[in-house]
Amino acid sequence: MRPRFLRSQAEARPRRHLFSVSTAVLLLLGRASSVAAQAVATIPITTANTALVLQTDASNRLNTVYFGAPLVNVADYAGTATQYAFNDTNAGFYPNTYTPAGTWNLSEPALAVTHADGNQSLELKYVRHETKPVDAHSSLTCILLRDPVYAFEVTLCYQVWPQENVIEQWTEIQHREKKAVTLNKFASANLYFTQKDFYLTTFQGQYLKEAQPAETKLLQGMRSVESKLGTRAMLLQTPNFILGLGQPAAENEGTVLVGQLAWSGNFKLEYEVDSYQNLRFLAGINPYQSAYALPAGQTFRTPSLLYAVSRHGTGEASRHLQSWARQYRVLDGQGQRLTLLNNWEATYFDFNEQKLTSLIQDTKALGVNMFLLDDGWFGNKYPRNNDDAGLGDWQENRQKLPHGLGYLVKEAQKEGVKFGIWIEPEMVNPKSELYEKHPDWVIRQPARPEIYYRNQLVLDLANPQVQDFVYGVVDGLFTKNPELAFIKWDCNAPIHNAYSSYLTKKGTPQNLYVDYVRGLYSVLQRLRAKYPKVPMMLCSGGGGRGDYELLKYFTEFWPSDDTEPVERIFMQWNYSYFFPAIVSDNHVTDWGKQPLKYRIDVASMGKLGFDIVFSKLSEQDKAFAQQAVRSYDGFKDVVWQGEQYRLANPYEQDIAAFAYVTADKSRAIVFNYLTDTRQKITATPRPVRLAGLDPQKSYRIKELNLYPGTTSTLPPDKEYSGDFLLNVGFNPNVTLTRTSVVLEVTAVAH
Ligand code: DGJ
């Protein structure tokens, strides 16, 4: 069959399907403003500290020709490619900015398709580009590439926040072929670095052992990091990365990219060192069992690859990313959060109104903002008394809660605290009325045995009826209980037996992994349209869902069910490479052997919560907890909104130290911990060098969160110059009897 030729954009008829903003921008571009097709186009995409430069070659293909410090003279970018000689017949294709499959390219492609006529070849030539401001803080560059033979085109999009040095890039794919085109691979980004010597830190884990870092030097060949779990996708591997260019990643030196593929389903990040020791980095949805059928006229927008760049190490890169996230990404990232008491570890499934009422009273007594009712409140035909029944039946269990949720909400109101609730609306137990009524809503292979994870299965969110159901669960809760102040949205099972009866009927069964995630986003968009502000926590029994796409709709996430505080220090250290403290939900529980003070101090480096029976604490512990909550209320804004500095790395020594510093450098909260109690440490041997302070200012240091009956061993009322604290440091005197030391550093007005 002869391919259909793409008409020029000027001739293009308006399409019925939605185009995203960036594509529309390109469609609107007149020929006058476009760059002539055969002239060399040089496209610098720049932030305060970085330039990513793209340029067309003699064949009008687009290459990445530079990634480095911005040049003073913009005209100089045009000449960067002339200084490299990688373009022999083997290496010429490596720098391509979005590498197609099936024609000249023999390396790992960014995009591989099967056209409507069955042909698998693709060529992408530069057509035009445009850069325009999005708002006062960011700009968007869109580059249109087109296949000269098929009616198929791709728009590469780069949104840039220069001040935060953050780049978000994605790709939009569309065609006007006669039938659907199959996207066999569809990367978000295809970066290229020529620095030589690349060090990749990945973060893998498992349940209770999330976010474990491993740094490796990338050697020639391919290293790929991926998930095929479907939901709860980043349980074993994460799409988070630290890339050290030219040297291993270090906290305060060297060029690094710190970033994430913002996608809540299967992902694949591929790092290929080519024959010239350059690095090709491809990131996108995992094409595993996902050859995606894209109808003509629709735009496939890939997820975003996000990264912050620093030439001064991971510390600065994290601060860039955290600051960007708070300002521009996380729902209510600069707002407030609710401290809470959660009943999960206090009761598990075994509760009734009386027990909960007593915990609501504890909430008040402890001094936190909200009581959070966890799993186990629903299901009647199949009561949720264990994790093997009831999931999906979101009606109050009449035995446990004879007066319904409304009664508990009122009890909370009486105590002057808010009320939040746990749901897991994407999942179903086979022992449930939902499963009985709608077996076709469940992801399962009809002719094969079911495979359970925590006795449950995943609902088919690719199906609009299921989307309506999930929306209805949340909407119903709010409609019946308008005072509900918080949702903990859990998600515990990955997808086994990936099969959607809905998509199979539609003729696109292989779209499931992608359409599931899109279905979820669509539910969240609807919910946020109606309930724009209600705080919601992403939970998945741990780090399976810390991602920047979901954080558009959620205010926070649950890093791990492992709340043992020493483990948590390591985990919170690792998560902080990517996320600001305000999104990290840290609960004080009974896990581990550390004293309550240690546990509360660790949980205070984020959003503080409790999962304990407060009334059963000793009187001293009670008094300490109440005082620590008050103290937290006094400094939480510094932790949530301040600049974070990782001061002492527990992977390198027996202590950990973190600082959070206000933007005006007038106040800092510094957390110090002994992390290895096997050593008979008698006192921290050397000072912790502080960071982020003003060398010109003077500061006073006060110890906070002292346990009742103890006094600080630190000199009272002494003043230090910022210069001293930055260069010499301060010894927090962490010892075996002072395993956790919180300091408030305040500028002194003279
Ligand atoms: C997993 C979560 O991580 C826990 O906090 C708790 O909510 C349980 N699920 C409830 O089933």
User: How many whole angstroms from 269 Cα to the centroid of ligand 1?
Assistant: 29
At residue 21, the 3 state secondary structure works out as helix
- DSSP count for the chain of H helices, then E strands: 13, 35
Q: Which residues contact 741 (CB under 8 A, 6 or more apart)?
A: 671, 672, 673, 703, 732, 733, 734
List the residue whose alpha carbon is closest to atom 3 of ligand 1. Answer: 541
Q: Is the CB of 422 under 6 A from ligand 1?
A: yes
Confidence category of residue 683, pLDDT binned at 50, 70, 90: confident
For residue 90, the model assigns a pLDDT of 64
A 10 A CB-CB count for 616 gives 11
**What's the average model confidence in pLDDT over 568-584?**
98
Distance CA 588, CA 573 (A): 17
The whole-angstrom distance between residue 161's C-alpha and the CA centroid of its chain comes to: 18
User: How many whole angstroms from 403 Cα to the centroid of ligand 1?
Assistant: 24
User: How many whole angstroms from 372 Cα to the centroid of ligand 1?
Assistant: 12
Q: What percent of the chain has pLDDT over 70?
A: 94
User: How many whole angstroms from 539 Cα to the centroid of ligand 1?
Assistant: 7
User: How many whole angstroms from 421 Cα to the centroid of ligand 1?
Assistant: 12
* Of the listed ranges 18-22, 93-97, 574-578, 597-601, the one predicted with least confidence: 18-22
Q: Is the CB of 583 under 6 A from ligand 1?
A: no
Helices 353-366 and 404-415: angle between axes, nearest 10 degrees: 30
Q: Is the CB of 490 under 6 A from ligand 1?
A: yes
At residue 511, the 3 state secondary structure works out as helix
Q: What does 683-734 look like in DSSP terms, one character per residue?
A: S-SSPBPP-SS-TTSEEEEEEE-PPTT----SPTT-EEEHHHHHHT-B----
Length of the chain, please?
750
Give the single-character DSSP code of 456: B
User: How many whole angstroms from 371 Cα to the centroid of ligand 1?
Assistant: 15
- Rounded to the nearest integer, the mean pLDDT of the chain is 94
At residue 50, the 3 state secondary structure works out as coil
Q: Give the model confidence (pLDDT) of 468-488 as tens digits.
A: 999 999 999 999 999 999 999
Name residue 224's beta-bridge partners. Answer: 270
Atom of ligand 1 at shortest range from CA of 488: 7
Confidence category of residue 87, pLDDT binned at 50, 70, 90: low
Q: What does 655-674 look like in DSSP terms, one character per residue?
A: EEEEEEE-TTSSEEEEEEEE
Q: Is the CB of 344 under 6 A from ligand 1?
A: yes
For the cut 70, the answer to whether the pLDDT of residue 38 exceeds it is no
Distance CA 564, CA 587 (A): 10
For residue 3, the model assigns a pLDDT of 30
For the cut 90, the answer to whether the pLDDT of residue 750 exceeds it is no
For the cut 80, the answer to whether the pLDDT of residue 360 exceeds it is yes
Distance CA 117, CA 115 (A): 5
Please give the backbone phi and psi of residue 593, each rounded to the nearest 5 degrees, phi first: -110, 0
Q: What percent of the chain has pLDDT over 90?
A: 90
Q: Which residues contact 322 (CB under 8 A, 6 or more apart)?
A: 576, 579, 580, 581, 643, 644
Atom of ligand 1 at shortest range from CA of 540: 3
Name residue 225's beta-bridge partners. Answer: 269
Atom of ligand 1 at shortest range from CA of 558: 3
Distance CA 308, CA 192 (A): 16
User: How many whole angstroms from 26 Cα to the centroid of ligand 1?
Assistant: 46
Geometric angle at alpha carbon 689, from 686 and 695, rounded to 5°: 140
Q: Which amino acid, residue 491?
A: C
**What's the average model confidence in pLDDT over 536-565?**
95
Give the single-character DSSP code of 286: -
For the cut 50, the answer to whether the pLDDT of residue 333 exceeds it is yes
**What predicted TM-score, i.e. pTM, was given to this entire model?**
0.95
Q: Is the CB of 541 under 6 A from ligand 1?
A: yes
Q: Is the CB of 539 under 6 A from ligand 1?
A: yes
For residue 86, the model assigns a pLDDT of 78
For the cut 50, the answer to whether the pLDDT of residue 28 exceeds it is no
**What's the average model confidence in pLDDT over 597-607?**
98
Q: Which amino acid, residue 127?
A: V
Pairing, β 370-373 against β 418-423: parallel
For residue 32, the model assigns a pLDDT of 31
For residue 543, the model assigns a pLDDT of 83
Probe target for ligand 1 pocket from 210, 349, 375, with the most ligand atoms within 8 Å of CB: 375
First-to-last CA distance in the chain? 83
Q: Is the CB of 562 under 6 A from ligand 1?
A: no
Confidence category of residue 682, pLDDT binned at 50, 70, 90: confident
Indicate the burial class of 406 (C-beta count within 10 angstroms; 0-12, 13-18, 19 or more). Answer: middle
Distance CA 54, CA 64 (A): 4
User: How many whole angstroms from 490 Cα to the centroid of ligand 1?
Assistant: 7
Q: What are the angstrom distances between the C-alpha of 44 and each of 71, 170, 294, 462?
A: 10, 17, 31, 39
Q: Give the model confidence (pLDDT) of 728-746 as tens digits.
A: 999 999 999 999 999 999 9
**What's the average model confidence in pLDDT over 43-67?**
97
Distance CA 384, CA 454 (A): 13
Q: Give the model confidence (pLDDT) of 699-728 as tens digits.
A: 999 999 999 999 999 999 899 999 999 999
The whole-angstrom distance between residue 437's C-alpha and the CA centroid of its chain comes to: 35
Residue labelled with tokens 């669960």: 473
Distance CA 516, CA 522 (A): 10
Q: Is the CB of 557 under 6 A from ligand 1?
A: no
**What's the average model confidence in pLDDT over 301-324?**
98
User: How many whole angstroms from 462 Cα to the centroid of ligand 1?
Assistant: 25
Q: Is the CB of 374 under 6 A from ligand 1?
A: yes
List the residue whose alpha carbon is closest to atom 10 of ligand 1. Answer: 375
Confidence category of residue 88, pLDDT binned at 50, 70, 90: low
User: How many whole angstroms from 422 Cα to the centroid of ligand 1?
Assistant: 8
List the residue whose alpha carbon is closest to atom 2 of ligand 1. Answer: 541
Distance CA 266, CA 234 (A): 8
Distance CA 527, CA 66 (A): 42
User: How many whole angstroms from 620 Cα to the centroid of ligand 1?
Assistant: 29
Q: Is the CB of 426 under 6 A from ligand 1?
A: no
User: How many whole angstroms from 559 Cα to the centroid of ligand 1?
Assistant: 12
* Of the listed ranges 5-14, 48-57, 305-314, 331-340, the one predicted with least confidence: 5-14
Atom of ligand 1 at shortest range from CA of 342: 5
List the residue whose alpha carbon is closest to atom 4 of ligand 1. Answer: 541
User: How many whole angstroms from 208 Cα to the centroid of ligand 1?
Assistant: 12
Atom of ligand 1 at shortest range from CA of 542: 3
For residue 30, the model assigns a pLDDT of 32
**What's the average model confidence in pLDDT over 163-170?**
98
**What's the average model confidence in pLDDT over 367-393?**
98
Q: Give the model confidence (pLDDT) of 396-420 as tens digits.
A: 999 999 999 999 999 999 999 999 9
For the cut 50, the answer to whether the pLDDT of residue 576 exceeds it is yes
Q: Is the CB of 390 under 6 A from ligand 1?
A: no
For residue 541, the model assigns a pLDDT of 85
Q: Give the model confidence (pLDDT) of 604-650 as tens digits.
A: 999 999 999 999 999 999 999 999 999 999 999 999 999 999 999 99
Q: What does 373-405 look like in DSSP terms, one character per residue?
A: E-S-SB-SSS--SSTTS-TT--SB-TTT-TTHH
